[in-house]
Amino acid sequence: MFELNNKIRENIKKLVPYSSARDEYKGKEGIFLDANENSYGSPSLPKDYNRYPDPLQLAVKEKLSKIKGQPPQNIFLGNGSDEAIDILLRAFCGPGTDNVIICPPTYGMYEVAANINDVEVKKVNLIPETFQLDVNNILTAINERTKLVFVCCPNNPTGNSVKDDDVIRLLKEFRGIVVVDEAYINFSPYRSSIRHLLTYPNLVILQTLSKAWGLAGLRIGMAFASQQIIDVFNKIKPPYNINSASQEAAMLALDDIDLVNRSMHELLEEREKLAGNLAEMPFVIKVYPSDANFLLVKMKEPRKVYDFLAGRNIIVRDRSKVPLCEGCLRITVGTWEENIKLIDTLKEFTT
């Protein structure tokens, strides 16, 4: 059985969270002299930002709730998913004692956040070429000090989705928390693991407005989990972790889901076209299938291609030294014009 209370660090369980002025008085009308804000306003800007933002971002969560089919109490908003990753480590992993499991090649922040928190990282590589989870080895690597398993689906930098059955098996057999990072889920033909939340209390799903929504600059990441887990997140987070301007912009963006879907369709068509064009290049060995907004491309002399492109002001990501991604560059799908420029430039590349 998964028992959340046995998993939370003792100091976090005992923590009395900071109580902000906006926590203590929630009314909207009145003369607010309780938070040492500047009642004279913000004279340097056309819009007033003199008031602290809603600590729990309820208006944004109401809109997200309709889109995601999850009650606001099951949603956490962070200053990017990166904040949620950091909070997971601080909530569940004792520095110098506990460990987490990651499945390389994968998103680099899990390891960095664990290192910052002095939490041991155990690595169980994905299966070569298919980049699926090696569930047997993950289960073997788990010990009584393992608190989190990070699964990235679709995975960065490989672009594939991992099998739902494998995620379910982890959820069933691991008594800690399975974190499924779905930063790229909107580009994928597969369904989100959100539908498993009611069945598995040890599931935490991460999503973000940075990718499909095109709002990386706002820094808004989401976590979906049981209310008990979300309560723990809210206890730990800085009181005003999402600023007013970001909350306002998110409100506007979330009204326009049709626009987002349309631009995503265009992007997916571009991805397939780009994949086809890249596959025809004489120096390209393999374009891996992608459920995300980027392509992992194995080629002869990746560093030369990288430098050639960089010299022509086209910047891609060199993943060629990453274990299991040897020889690969990761290329984000650009606009129609950008992709044409990329392909035309690559046609000039000769080894």
Ligand X SMILES: *Cc1c(COP(=O)(O)O)cnc(C)c1O
CB of 114 to ligand X, least distance (A): 15
Name the pairing type of β-strands 99-102 and 120-123: parallel
Q: Which is nearer to ligand X, 242 or 346 (CB)?
A: 242
Q: How many CB atoms lie within 10 A of CB 256?
A: 12
Name the residue whose CB lies closest to ligand X: 80
User: 11-38: buried (b, 16+ CB within 10 Å) or exposed (e) per residue?
Assistant: ebeeeeeeeeebeeeeeeeeeeeeeeee
Number of residues that bind ligand X (CB under 6 A): 13
Residues 35, 25 contacting (CB under 8 angstroms): no
Q: Which is nearer to ligand X, 316 or 346 (CB)?
A: 316
Among 45, 67, 216, 279, binds ligand X (CB under 6 A): 216
Among 183, 204, 260, 278, binds ligand X (CB under 6 A): 183
Tell which positions 73-112 bind ligand X, by CB under 6 A. 80-82, 107
Q: How many CB atoms lie within 10 A of CB 122?
A: 17
Q: Which is nearer to ligand X, 149 or 346 (CB)?
A: 149
Binding mask 301-340 for ligand X (x = CB under 6 A): ----------------------------------------
One-letter amino acid at 22 equals R
Q: Which is nearer to ligand X, 156 or 339 (CB)?
A: 156
**What is each CA distance from 191 to 153, 200, 244, in whole angstroms?**
10, 16, 32
CA 279, distance to chain mean position in Å, is 29
Rounded CA-CA distance 122/109 in Å is 14
Residue 120 has φ and ψ, to the nearest 5°, of -65, 140
CA dihedral 315, 317, 321, 325 (to 10 degrees): -130
Q: Does 277 bind ligand X (CB under 6 A)?
A: no
Tell which positions 126-155 bind ligand X, by CB under 6 A. 152
Q: Which is nearer to ligand X, 70 or 208 (CB)?
A: 208
CB of 110 to ligand X, least distance (A): 9
Q: Which is nearer to ligand X, 156 or 226 (CB)?
A: 156
Binding mask 150-179 for ligand X (x = CB under 6 A): --x---x-----------------------
Q: Which residues contribute to the site for ligand X (CB under 6 A)?
A: 80-82, 107, 152, 156, 181, 183, 208, 210-211, 216, 221
